[in-house]
Amino acid sequence: MLKQDIQPGLDQDILGAHINAIWLADTQQTLFNSLMQTLARPGNLSNWSEWIEYNPVYLAVLATLLDSEVSLADPDHLLAQADWPLLQAQKAAAEQANYILCDATKAPNFYPSLGTLSSPDFAATLILQVTNLSAEQGKVCLKLTGPGVNGTTQVYVSGIDQAWLEQRNEWCSAFPLGIDCILVDDTHIMGLPRTTKLEIEQTKMGVQN
C-alpha cells in the first residue's frame, strides 16, 4: 500500500523546502515496482542509489511499504524519531508487528509472527540491514533455489549474524507459514521470500563483518 498524501512530481512543500524523494508518491511507485520484481527473483540485487538521495535504503523500503494500517517494530532503534510521523505506521513489539526493521549484525532475540494456515499473509516481513550485498564476494555465500530462481543462484552477504540465516530457515520450514525477508545494504536490496530454499555455502563463525 502506497501513501498518496504527497502528489507525484512535487518536491517542495508550501514553504519551498526540499522534500526527500523517498516521500514522493511517484518515487514510491517506482521503488514498489522494483521491490516486487526483486521479491519475485530471489538473489537478484536491485540498486536504489538513484532514488534514495542520502537516506538509508531501509528507510526507502519502509516509506514505500508502510501506511497507517500496518505496524512496525524497530528493536535496534535504527530509525530517528522524526521518521515515525512520515512513515505513519503504528509502533508494535517485534512479536506482533507486520514489519520488523533489524540490524543484522545482532542475533535475533524475538519470535516474529509466522501467520496462520488460514491467513498466512498475517506473517511478518523483516527488513535486515547488512553491511554488504554482492553477486561476487562476501563473508557468507548463500545458495538459493525455489520459485523465481533459474535453477540455483548464489549471493554473498557481509555483516550478518549467522543466527539470522538459521532462524529464517526454521521459521520458514512449515510453508505456507513463515516470514519474508528484505536484505538491504547502503545501496542495494535483495528479496528473500519464504518460498526460497536457502543453504549456507561458506561462512565464518559469529558475526560476519
| pTM more than 0.85 | yes
Read off the pLDDT of residues 106-118 as tens digits, 9 standing for 90 and up. 999 999 999 999 9
Domain count, the chain: 1
CA quadruple 155, 176, 94, 57: dihedral, nearest 10: 30
- The pLDDT of residue 12 is above 50: no
Q: What is the mean pLDDT of residues 20-48?
A: 95
Residue 2 lies in a domain: no
Can you give the pLDDT at residue 20?
87
Residue 1 lies in a domain: no
- The pLDDT of residue 102 is above 80: yes
* Grid cell digits, residue 80: 530517528
Residue 5 lies in a domain: no
Q: How many CB atoms lie within 10 A of CB 109?
A: 9
Residue 16 lies in a domain: no
Read off the pLDDT of residues 61-82 as tens digits, 9 standing for 90 and up. 999 999 999 999 999 999 999 9
Domain ranges, residue 190: 21-208
Residue 7 lies in a domain: no
C-alpha 148, offset from chain centre: 18
CATH number of residue 202's parent domain: 3.40.50.11310
